[in-house]
Every structure is written in structure tokens, then in C-alpha cells.
């Protein structure tokens, strides 16, 4: 028999479950750590997409914040968040919407890495009679977007912003490649790489008589590993509120820090094959298989009983649209447990951002023992 939680019994499955005590522990751990080092924390709200959770993640419940879509900026500005960075490269087509959010009293800044974008932000600021602030994105690790540190384009872009109706707000970088290495020491190397890229670029701008008030770095692995924040004004991180198997697999958290899971029901068995079939396929878990290249491949998720205790070596080995197939991890000699038809289980996800996005509601297990389940809505879209 697996342990059960009566508060979850009335849920139709699959359902998204959030363990509030774990989430609050994750939130406080990083906030305390960054505050102690003298920088601000600017949580990324792209993972949670929930006003209830944002109010718990943000300093004083109101900011500063990072978002990945203008839909997020609109929702969070709507609850009074007053300082938001939209951290995906801006396009000309989105600037009217940025201006509309700013006109509601939210200091929304954009990011960019090209003279073309700087021209567009300058033109929109001029046309709309509104100063739109922009940070210059830096490429500290070859991961994705950004100006290479030391590239003269940095100063060119800085001037285009500063010598126009727009505003040069600072520089920003993200060590996306830190997800590919294991352990605090390896993440600290990426953190220092983020710091050096950002600080050197800020210096380059200041040496050209340009302002650089904001020097922003961060990713969940580097934010937890960074030793030195000299010259840095703020740190960004997002998935840490929930954590997930990818983060556990690179040593940023433990399995029992993971606050998000998918409640599922056993719908059948293929006993000859050693399969248990559930109603949480990839539509519930997402297609993210981010642990595939890690030391331990967790398939489409780690299986727990209804209370959240990990069942050793039991994973979702395969996911169809509305079917998950559970079996012992390949190579394990664990026996398949007896989980009869109708048993409810919880599955820890590879990637919290992707799994949460498949649902419109969190079923929140409150921190207080015995308290009833809460429902927190979640939004999506752009």
C-alpha cells in the first residue's frame, strides 16, 4: 500500500499539485542568500505564472520581477508590480504594448542586443513621447542571444539608446549553459563568468560616458552557487520556486525540494511487460525529457506515492498523449510494486516550467497541517 492524502482524493486526474511548504522553503533560501550578498533578487515569473505565487516570490509582494512574455507583464502590472524586466529580445511590433503597460504606472524595461532594436526603441520612445528603458543583453557563454563582451557594438547600442528619447538602463546576462554542468563548483564558474561579462560591459559603457545603473545576472544554478557579487546590482532566477528533476540532476536541489508534481491515477497494467499505465501522459507532464542527457535519465518523471514519498527506481518510461507508462528504471533490479487500478500517484517533473504550463490551476497543499486544499489559477499565452 502506498500512503495517501485525503485532501487529494476528490481531484480529477491528471491534476497539478503544489506543495506550499516546499515552495516557501525554496523561496526563502535563495532570497536570504542573495540579500546576504548585498544584491537585489529579481525573480523570474515565467515558471509560476500565478499572481498568488508572485506575491510570495517578490520582495514586499510587488517587485522587482522578470517576465518572459508581455502577457505576464500585463497580469503582474495589473496586481501592482511596479518594476518588471521583459527578458526576451524586443521586436518593433511589441513596443506599443510595452508602452501601454508602462502607461499604467509599471516601470517595464526591455532587452536587446542589436543596433536595429535600439533604433526601434528610440523611435517608439520618440513617437509615443515616452521614455522606454532598455538593457543590453550580453552573451556570457555562447548559449543564445546577446552581444559578446568586448564587442564595440555594445557602446554603439549604448549611444543609440542614451542619445535618443529611449533610456539605457544597463546590462543583463544569463548563463544558460550552467544547466549543462553538475555541482556547485561548476555552477560557480559560470556565475563568475556571468559576473565578469556583466561588470566588464558596464565598465565599457561607463568608460564611454554612458550610464549603466543596472548590472543584472542570473540563472537558477548560478544564483545558488555564486560567491562574489562585486559590481552586480541584481540576480535573476525562476525555476527555483518549484525546482524539478533537471535541477536535482545537476545538484542544485534535492528530490525533496521539488514542490511541483502531477497527480495521476493508475488506469491499467501490462503485467507481462512490467508496465503500469496511468492517465498522466505528455499532455500532463509535457514532452520535456530534460534529464535524458544527465547521469540519471528520469524518463518523463519520478513516481511518488500520493503523499509525495519517492518510490525507489520507479519512473515514467514512456509518455503518449494521455497515457503514462510506469516501470522500474532500466537497469534497476527493483520489483514492480503492486499498484492496483485506481491508485493515485504523484509524478515529479523534469522541467517545472514546461509541466506547469500544461495546467490552468495549481492544487495547493497548504503549509499548515490539516488545512484544506487551495486552488490557485495559472495563466498562459503571450
Give the footprint of its own copies on this chain (CB under 8 A).
Answer: 12-15, 46, 68-70, 88-94, 97, 112-114, 116-117, 120, 139, 142, 144-145, 176, 265-270, 273, 277, 279, 282-284, 286-289, 320-323, 325, 340-342, 353-354, 357-360, 380-382
Cα separation, 272 vs 138, whole angstroms: 54
Determine contact, residues 13/344, Cβ cutoff 8 Å.
yes
Nearest distance in Å: CB 372, its own copies:
19
Q: Considering the complex, what minimum distance in angstroms separates the CB of residue 86 from its own copies? A: 10
CB of 38 to its own copies, least distance (A): 29
Q: How far apart are the C-alpha atoms of 378 and 143, rounded to whole Å? A: 29
Q: Pairing between strand 361-365 and 374-377?
A: antiparallel
Least separation in angstroms between CB 316 and its own copies: 13
End-to-end CA distance of the chain: 43
Residues 6+ apart with CB under 8 A from 142: 177
Reference 264, options 323, 352, 351; nearest CA is 323
Kindly tell me which of 70 and 161 has the beta carbon lying closer to its own copies: 70
Closer to its own copies by Cβ: residue 193 or 358: 358
> C-beta of 125: minimal distance to its own copies in Å?
17
- Shortest CA distance to 158 belongs to which of 108, 218, 199, 117? 117
Q: Which is nearer to its own copies, 226 or 354 (CB)?
A: 354
Beta carbon of residue 166, minimum distance to its own copies (angstroms, whole number): 16
Q: How far is the CB of 300 from its own copies (least distance, A)?
A: 11
Nearer to its own copies, 313 or 322 (CB): 322
Which of 259, 285 has the CB closer to its own copies?
285
Cα 330 to Cα 254: distance, rounded to the nearest angstrom? 22
CA 38 to chain centre: 22
Do 245 and 262 contact (CB within 8 A), yes or no?
A: no
**Cα 323-324-326 angle, rounded to 5 deg:** 145
| Structure-derived torsion over alpha carbons of residues 341, 9, 363, 253, reported in degrees to the nearest 10 | -60
68 vs 178, which CB is nearer to its own copies? 68
| Cell representation of residue 150 | 568586448
Q: Least CB distance from residue 323 to its own copies, whole Å?
A: 6
Beta strands at 302-305 and 275-278: parallel, antiparallel or unpaired: unpaired
Q: Give the separation between CA 5 and CA 288, rounded to whole angstroms.
A: 27
3-state SS class at 70? helix
Q: Nine-digit cell at 72?
A: 505576464
Residue recorded with cell 524518463: 299
Nearer to its own copies, 268 or 312 (CB): 268
Shortest distance, position 101 Cβ to its own copies, whole Å: 13
In order, the DSSP letters of 41-57 are EEEBTTTT--HHHHHHH
Whose Cβ is closer to its own copies: residue 259's or residue 325's?
325
C-beta of 217 vs 229, nearer to its own copies:
217
Amino acid at each position: 500500500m502506498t500512503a495517501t492524502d485525503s485532501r487529494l482524493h476528490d481531484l480529477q486526474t491528471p491534476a497539478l499539485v503544489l506543495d506550499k511548504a516546499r515552495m516557501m522553503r525554496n523561496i526563502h533560501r535563495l532570497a536570504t542568500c542573495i540579500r546576504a550578498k548585498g544584491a537585489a533578487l529579481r525573480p523570474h515569473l515565467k515558471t509560476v505564472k500565478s499572481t498568488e505565487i508572485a506575491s510570495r516570490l517578490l520582495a514586499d509582494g510587488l517587485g522587482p520581477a522578470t517576465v518572459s512574455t508581455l502577457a505576464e507583464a500585463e497580469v503582474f502590472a495589473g496586481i501592482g508590480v511596479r518594476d518588471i524586466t521583459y527578458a526576451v529580445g524586443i521586436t518593433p511590433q511589441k513596443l506599443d504594448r510595452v508602452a501601454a503597460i508602462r502607461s499604467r504606472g509599471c516601470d517595464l524595461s526591455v532587452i536587446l542586443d542589436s543596433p536595429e532594436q535600439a533604433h526601434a526603441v528610440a523611435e517608439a520612445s520618440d513617437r509615443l513621447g515616452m521614455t522606454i528603458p532598455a538593457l543590453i543583453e550580453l552573451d556570457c557563454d555562447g548559449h543564445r542571444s546577446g552581444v559578446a563582451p568586448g564587442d564595440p557594438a555594445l557602446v554603439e547600442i549604448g549611444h543609440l539608446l542614451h542619445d535618443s528619447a529611449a533610456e539605457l538602463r544597463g546590462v543583463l546576462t544569463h548563463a544558460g549553459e550552467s544547466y549543462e554542468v553538475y555541482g556547485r563548483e561548476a555552477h560557480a564558474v559560470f556565475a563568475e563568468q556571468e559576473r565578469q561579462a556583466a561588470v566588464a560591459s558596464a565598465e565599457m559603457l561607463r568608460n564611454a560616458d554612458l550610464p549603466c545603473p543596472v548590472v543584472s545576472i542570473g540563472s537558477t544554478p548560478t544564483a545558488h552557487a555564486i560567491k562574489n557579487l562585486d559590481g552586480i546590482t541584481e540576480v535573476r532566477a525562476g525555476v527555483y520556486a518549484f525546482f524539478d528533476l533537471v535541477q536535482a540532476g545537476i545538484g542544485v536541489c534535492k528530490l525533496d525540494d521539488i514542490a511541483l508534481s502531477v497527480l495521476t491515477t493508475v488506469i491499467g497494467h501490462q503485467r507481462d511487460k512490467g508496465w503500469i499505465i496511468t492517465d498522466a501522459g505528455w499532455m500532463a507532464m509535457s514532452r520535456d525529457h530534460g534529464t535524458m542527457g544527465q547521469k540519471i535519465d528520469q524518463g518523463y518523471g519520478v513516481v511518488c506515492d500520493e503523499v509525495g514519498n519517492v518510490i525507489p527506481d520507479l519512473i515514467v518510461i514512456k509518455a503518449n498523449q494521455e497515457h503514462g507508462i510506469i516501470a522500474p528504471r532500466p537497469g534497476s533490479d527493483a520489483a514492480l510494486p503492486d499498484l492496483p487500478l485506481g491508485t493515485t500517484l504523484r509524478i515529479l517533473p523534469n522541467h517545472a516550467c514546461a509541466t506547469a504550463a500544461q495546467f490552468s490551476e495549481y492544487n495547493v497543499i497548504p503549509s499548515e497541517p490539516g488545512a484544506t486544499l487551495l486552488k490557485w489559477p495559472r495563466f498562459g499565452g503571450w
